[in-house]
């Protein structure tokens, strides 16, 4: 049997320009959202669009590339793994957050 692994690949558009932070250790991290859309026709014959928003995190040199070249609306392919983290908010409620940690990024927009 083939080895199963955690892999996610998305093609979509950025919802906003990436937020990039320079960390104390010299590393960079970029965070942004990507929208993907599915289309179908309902029983009334109307075209319906369903959009999903995905939280993306990129580290290191790839974060620098995202900072330099990506902006709101950029069309991209993101390849990475699905991760879930949790934290406790100020009221003591445990919150869960799912995101994709990207290890590959391809820009699909035409060069300007």
Q: What's the rounded Cα separation, in Å, for the pair 57 and 95?
A: 18
Assigned domain for 59 exists: yes
How many structural domains does the chain have?
A: 1
- Name the pTM for this structure: 0.85
Assigned domain for 1 exists: no
Q: Is 58 helix (H, G, I), strand (E, B) or coil?
A: strand
pLDDT digits (tens, 9 = 90+) for 54-87: 999 999 999 999 999 999 999 999 999 999 999 9
Q: Look up the domain containing 46 and give its range.
A: 8-107
Assigned domain for 38 exists: yes
Residue 110 has pLDDT above 90, yes or no: no
Assigned domain for 13 exists: yes
Assigned domain for 28 exists: yes
């Amino acid at each position: 049997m083939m080895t199963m692994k955690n892999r996610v690949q998305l093609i979509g558009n950025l919802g906003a320009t990436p937020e990039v932070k320079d960390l104390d250790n010299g590393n960079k991290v970029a965070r942004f959202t990507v929208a993907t859309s599915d289309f179908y026709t309902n029983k009334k014959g109307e075209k319906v669009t369903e959009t999903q928003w995905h939280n993306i995190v990129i580290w290191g040199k790839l974060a620098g590339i995202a900072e330099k070249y990506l902006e709101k609306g950029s069309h991209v392919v993101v390849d990475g793994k699905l991760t879930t983290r949790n934290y406790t908010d100020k009221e003591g409620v445990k919150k869960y957050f799912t995101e994709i940690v990207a290890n590959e990024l391809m820009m699909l927009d035409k060069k300007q």
